[in-house]
Amino acid sequence: MVAKGYLVTKKDNNNKNRKYGVTLPGGTANEISVRSDGKRLFIELETNDIDQYNLIRESIAQYIDKNAVSADVQSFTVKDLGNIYITINDTVPYSPIRKDYDFQIVPDKHITAYN
């Protein structure tokens, strides 16, 4: 992550949590949280860059979970990865152009970081 320009914003070796952040041109920003829980790895990506949202959304669009329908959360089930949840919120202060996008990647219970 550091090689890609991200800076470590928070590091907790006791709980195996790390946060990385980067500010991009145009006032957009990304923050990635990584948590290791035994052999499983949980990842959360927060961004306000619509291009990043579109890239990720289009790459997983075929894996939409039609059984988990919610107005606020889009759910995707990717084989050999787990579930991806996308939440879209308005920015503070409100902007009709910008939104905050939150991606949570939750591994399946049978999938470990070694897979």
β-bridge pairing 73-78 and 28-37: unpaired
Fill in the DSSP letter of residue 84: E
Distance CA 68, CA 79 (A): 16
The per-residue pLDDT for 91 is 85
User: Residue 113: which pLDDT band, with cuts at 50, 70 and 90?
Assistant: low
Residue 8 within a domain: yes
Which range of residues forms the domain containing residue 64?
Answer: 2-107
* Whether pLDDT at 36 is above 90: no
d(CA 4, CA 51): 18
What are the residues whose beta carbons fall under 8 Å from the beta carbon of 81, sequence distance 6 or more?
Answer: 105, 107, 108, 111
Instruction: Give the pTM.
Output: 0.83
Q: What is the pLDDT of residue 115?
A: 53
Number of domains in the chain: 1
Which band of pLDDT confidence, cut at 50, 70 and 90, is reported for residue 65?
Answer: confident
pLDDT at 19: 94
Q: Is 17 part of a structural domain of the chain? A: yes
Stretch among 52-61, 65-74, 86-95 having the lowest mean pLDDT: 65-74
Report whether 76 contacts 60 (CB < 8 A).
Answer: yes
Please report whether residue 14 resides in a domain.
yes
Q: Does 94 fall in a domain?
A: yes
